[in-house]
Structure 1
Amino acid sequence: MGKSTDPVTGSGVDKCLAAIRSMVLSGELLPGQKVQQAALAEALGVSRIPVREALSRLQSEGIVEHKSNTGYTVSRFNSEDLAELYLMRRLLETELVKTADLSRIDVAAMGKLHTEMVAAARAQDPDEFQRLNRQFHFAIFDASPLTLVRQELQRLWYMSDFYRSLYLYELETTQRLVAEHKAIIDVVRAQDSKRLLKELDAHRAGTEKIVVRRLGHRRRPA
């Protein structure tokens, strides 16, 4: 495959961003694993320049880390890190829901996403379920005018994508999530922000518990 003649274009960097995020989500790149820039550039048909730019952006999002002697590696989280991440998610998501205009939300579109998630759960397709799940939740958050808060929340979601994907291989768990999503749709339809906050808090707490359990309660090194 020929390499791009304009490797620093936005499309080239975006291509690398999407590819690396997908590799982290699928487990092709595991937490703590070094990112081989030359091999990645070759696989994507680009030069190393957009790969480096993409990795620099992912570093700012907390998805990868950089050390001068080892280069870029996929960030590794422990149970305490994830507890902080979920705390930040709760704070930001609460503000977004409180300021959201629920009448702007396309409930029919959320229902369609819900139907597609049911199919993804039955097909045991965690990548598709994860993609749809993000769209489902941000259909709510996008109804808030707090753009910077929403962008920061997007970063937090990206940081924890791989860890959330761990439980998406469990059919029982995805079925529970789908049932909770149905309840969330009903509350959005009723435009009841207080009930929506309660539903989302319970939903988030349940997924955090599963993620920490799957992580094995690994703690920060002393």
Structure 2
Amino acid sequence: MMKDKKQTPKKQAEDSAQIAYQGIRHMLYTKELVPGQRILYRDLAEKLKLSPTPVIQALKWLELQGFVEHEPHRGYSMAPFSLKEIEELYEIRELIEPSLVPAAIEKIDKNGLSELKEALEAHLAAERESYLKERLFKNREFHMTLAYLSGKTTQVRILQNVFDMLFLKYGGNYFPISSLSSTDQAHQEIYDAVALRSLERAQSVLKNHLTNVKIQVMTSIKKILEEQERSEF
């Protein structure tokens, strides 16, 4: 009988760091950690039921991704809220997503079109009372499904990181509820154009959709910040 192989110390450390990483990402999702918040890694380790070492490793990974900042002798903190960063993230989406459409349309087959249809229907079926997290992530899945169909793995990975920053760091609570119907319509029109292999139409609708979303989001955030400033006086 073969004996079970024991994990090496290196493998155990990697697994613990990955557990810490996923645990901290979940805390970002649930807003237990928010932009600008100081991080006491020992408290974090206790909450995650891990030793400090894998938690520090996870924080270093998150620092490379832009979620966390580290200052010598002061420790870790969540990266601060940045209006400029949000705008730049949407500008990256405006550059990458339309550029992937030609390859997606060229490569798409019956199965790929079915996947895109499922992503569209999942978003349309999500809770409509407000722009809740379920609907927000279904929105991301539609856009990411279209991107994955292009086969451009490096650009898709960059786009995934952009969505992580937008939805995990900033939460998406700034997305105006009034834009739900226009988002539904845009997604439907994008799908229809891709199904017809109409490249010009698909790119045009997607570009306009992303630009409109950026404008709506930036307007909504500025309004929220203005209201917060007034309430402080």
Give the alignment's TM-score, normalised by structure 2. 0.77
Write the deviation string for residues 38-63 of structure 1: whole angstroms up to 9, x where unpaired.
23222222222222222211211112
Task: Identify the match of residue 156 of structure 2 among 112, 129, 150.
Answer: 150
Bigger mean CA offset, 209-218 vs 81-90: 209-218
- Residue correspondences, number: 212
Matched, 1:167 2:174: yes
Q: Distance in 2 between matches of 1:18 and 1:82?
A: 23
Matched, 1:56 2:29: no
Aligned to 2:139: 133
Task: Identify the match of residue 9 of structure 1 among 4, 9, 14.
Answer: 14
Q: Kindly state the Cα deviation for residue 124 of structure 1 after the two structures are TM-superposed.
A: 4.1
Q: Distance in 2 between matches of 1:195 and 1:102?
A: 17
Task: Identify the match of residue 121 of structure 1 among 111, 122, 127.
Answer: 127
Structure 2 gap segments, 5+ residues each:
1-8, 226-233
Q: Secondary structure at the match of 1:8?
A: helix
Q: Distance in 1 between matches of 2:131 and 2:122?
A: 11
Write the deviation string for residues 69-123 of structure 1: whole angstroms up to 9, x where unpaired.
3322222243333222222222222332233335246232333333332333326
**Cα gap change, 1:182 to 1:15, in 2 (>3 Å):** farther
Q: Distance in 1 between matches of 2:131 and 2:217?
A: 18
State how 1:70-81 maps to structure 2 within 5 Å.
70-81=74-85
**Cα gap change, 1:82 to 1:75, in 2 (>3 Å):** same
**Aligned-pair Cα RMSD in Å:** 2.7
Q: Secondary structure at the match of 1:114?
A: helix
**Cα gap change, 1:175 to 1:47, in 2 (>3 Å):** farther
Give the alignment's TM-score, normalised by structure 1. 0.80
Aligned-pair identity (%): 27
* Kept after mapping to 1: 8 A contact 2:123/2:142: no
**Partner letter of residue 14 of structure 2?**
T
Structure 1 gap segments, 5+ residues each:
none
**Cα gap change, 1:9 to 1:208, in 2 (>3 Å):** same
**Cα gap change, 1:180 to 1:15, in 2 (>3 Å):** farther
Q: Distance in 2 between matches of 1:188 and 1:17?
A: 36
Higher RCO (Cα < 8 Å, 6 or more apart): 1
